[in-house]
Amino acid sequence: MTHAGPDSVSTVVDETTKTFDVVVVGAGPAGSAAALEVARAGYSVALVERGPFPGAKNVYGGVVYGRILDELVPRWWERMPVQRWVTRRATMVMTPTQALTLDFRTQDWGKPPYNGATAHRADLDSWLAELAVEAGAVLVPSTVVTGLLRDHAGAVVGVRTDRPDGDLTAGVVIACDGVNSFLAKEAGMYRTGHEAEHLTLGVKQTLALPREAIEERFAVSGRDGVDIEMLGCTRGIPGGGFLYTNLDSVSIGVVLGLTGVSKAKTRPEELIAELKRHPAIAPLIKGGEQIEYSAHLIPEGGYRAMPELIGDGMLVAGDAAAMCLAAGIWLEGVNFALGAGMYAGRAAAAALKAGDVSGQGLAGYRTMLERSFVLADHRKLRDLPGLVLSDRMQQNYPGMVCDLVQGLFQVDNPLPKPGLRTLLRRSAKDNGVRWRDLVRDGWTGMRGLR
Amino acid sequence: MTDRRYQEAAFEDVMSTVEFRVSPRPHITVDTDVCRSCTTKACVHACPADLFVPTSEGGILFNYEQCFECGTCYQVCDGEGAISWSYPDGGAGVVFKRG
Ligand SMILES: Cc1cc2nc3c(=O)[nH]c(=O)nc-3n(C[C@H](O)[C@H](O)[C@H](O)COP(=O)(O)OP(=O)(O)OC[C@H]3O[C@@H](n4cnc5c(N)ncnc54)[C@H](O)[C@@H]3O)c2cc1C
Ligand code: SF4
Ligand code: SF4
């Protein structure tokens, strides 16, 4: 018996009768959206998940941006298992002793149709999978897909699972098996490999805090909530930090470039501990009791690191296709997974209807992705992942920005106030920033956001 | 950064907040012979569950039971054949409630 891992291999099978029209692997947001659309189109679909329930294996920072849900689930905000609605978003640039925060709040985001919400994956993923089941999908939990089934020509015709007699044959297999996607790799869709430099490790602690304490400390009330992203809190290891509010807990963690963390002689939990002691963070989480610790990989390579998305009889969606958008410390993946899964489901249904599940028959998937935010945003922001994970952004800019602002705000009289240009030159020099790099990085950043 | 009034919980206590449905089959195995000649010991620093323990002879002690199944170890390890990696069998392994 083989198991699902980097060494997964395909099995060649003779012509078979289909168990399902479509098999979706992985009941994360991508998989559930895909299964939902296939079921809605009237085709039979199995949604196979290795966890005992959807979400059991999944970890993220904590915020879902809901706009794509408008298309999938009408009035989703009335049904989604939400912790808090994000009405305040803050970005913090920090050094061990300084913190500069850009803090934005709007009550518009606290009412329908809402913008972002915090939710736990166990709740969110289970809810999404339940929507697919209501539409007619068959959820198969506690089941690992161990490899692909192919016909003699090499086309994908189903999956092998770790259940006894567990082969499931299908017209189309949609791989939504997340960042490690052994299926996309087995199918040869990653030509360059899903290498470590495109991956970050997210490590998170959930801290219980009384609801009133959260409302007081984060200056929100009712179901309003806050997300804070941070740069400069990872001792120069490429990455960043996050702090999100739930109803009666907060999620705090760091995201670390994989090659950086394995070289630095620092362990991830030490970095979280340090972040928790930071003077700008400690008062917010004081007394919080740790109730869970978790970790997961993130595909941060963006557009340039994406694999082939379509094969004969197979589509790849979500993190399995590196569709997580990490334009810096802002991490969006659930919305991209939902969008990609939805289009994959539609493309599979269209191919079945036309009676052509070859790569050509499934090509509508790529067109739909390109016309939507999924690939458009990725293409537009293709240079940002590298910029934010660069040494300068990690090691030099946070200090430069904090020193600059400290210089602006500090009152030194009777010495005369230094001019902005002097301050800028001084803070750049003190933090080892060269003008040439600053101008170039500024240009890349602006172009990315254009 | 030195405000230590709020003592960090011991790592074992942190890990004890996580549910593991331990399967009898070790889904990851480590060949300590290969590890002996490894100079980076990348796994020791990167595994978020701190499951790779260096031994005095330069090898590695590894226990799969509290694994998050993240994939970090096989990605950072460049010791050929040091790690045999797979997911635990269906339903087994880590169960996150607040992931
Ligand atoms: C620390 C961290 C912070 C993040 N923060 C955010 C955030 O705040 N907001 C946001 O939008 N995104 C965030 N992301 C990204 C987001 O989590 C992902 O982009 C998103 O979950 C991708 O969804 P998916 O369905 O493609 O994959 P996943 O959610 O990873 O789902 C894959 C599913 O496949 C299953 N599976 C895998 N292999 C098999 C197999 N062989 N057989 C059966 N089942 C299998 C898994 O158990 C899992 O349920 C974050 C990620 C991390 C790690
Ligand atoms: S598991 Fe890999 S990285 Fe770790 S000590 Fe062994 S060879 Fe080195
Ligand atoms: S998969 Fe992750 S948690 Fe498990 S041993 Fe490897 S690095 Fe550690």
A positions 151-180 inside 8 Å of B (CB):
161-163, 179-180
Q: What gap in Å lies between CA A186 and CA A172, rounded to an integer?
A: 16
Q: What gap in Å lies between CA A39 and CA A135, rounded to an integer?
A: 6
- Are A124 and A61 spatial neighbours (Cβ–Cβ below 8 Å)? no
Q: Tens digits of per-residue pLDDT, A242-294?
A: 999 999 999 999 999 999 998 888 999 999 999 999 999 999 999 999 999 99
Q: How many CB atoms lie within 10 A of CB A379?
A: 12
Of A51, A59, A201, the CB nearest to B72: A201
Domain ranges of chain B: 25-89
| Least distant ligand from the CA of B60 | 2
pLDDT exceeds cutoff 80 at B12: yes
- What is the pLDDT at residue B8? 77
Task: Determine if ligand 3 sits within 6 Å of the CB of residue B85.
Answer: no
Q: Tens digits of per-residue pLDDT, A54-97?
A: 999 999 999 999 999 999 999 999 999 999 999 999 999 999 99
Between chains, do A277 and B2 touch, taking CB under 8 Å as contact? Answer: yes
- Are B29 and A184 spatial neighbours (Cβ–Cβ below 8 Å)? no
Mind listing the domains of chain A with CATH numbers?
11-81+120-192+303-384 (3.50.50.60), 199-299 (no CATH), 390-449 (no CATH)
- Are A103 and A227 spatial neighbours (Cβ–Cβ below 8 Å)? no
Which residues in chain A show pLDDT less than 50? none
Q: How far is CA B81 from the centre of its chain?
A: 17
- Residue among A28, A29, A84, A88 nearest A251 (CA): A84
What angle do the packed helices A334-354 and A373-380 form, to 10 degrees?
A: 130
Would you state the CATH architecture of domain B25-89? Answer: 2-Layer Sandwich (3.30)
Task: Determine if ligand 3 sits within 6 Å of the CB of residue B82.
Answer: no
Model-level ipTM above the cut of 0.85: yes
Nearest atom, ligand 3, residue B69 CA: 1
Residue nearest to atom 38 of ligand 1 (CA): A177
Q: What gap in Å lies between CA A68 and CA B96, rounded to an integer?
A: 25
CA of A294 to the centre of ligand 3 (A): 11
DSSP states along A4-62: SSTT---EE------SEEEEEE--SHHHHHHHHHHHHTT--EEEE-SSSSTTTT----S
A positions 178-197 inside 8 Å of B (CB):
179-180, 196
- Are A310 and A363 spatial neighbours (Cβ–Cβ below 8 Å)? yes
Task: Determine if ligand 3 sits within 6 Å of the CB of residue B70.
Answer: yes
What is the pTM (predicted TM-score) of this model? 0.96
Structure tokens at A363: 């090509």
- Are A331 and A298 spatial neighbours (Cβ–Cβ below 8 Å)? yes
Buried b (16+ CB within 10 A) or exposed e, A224-245: bbbbbbbbbbbbebbbbbbbbb
| Least distant ligand from the CA of A181 | 1
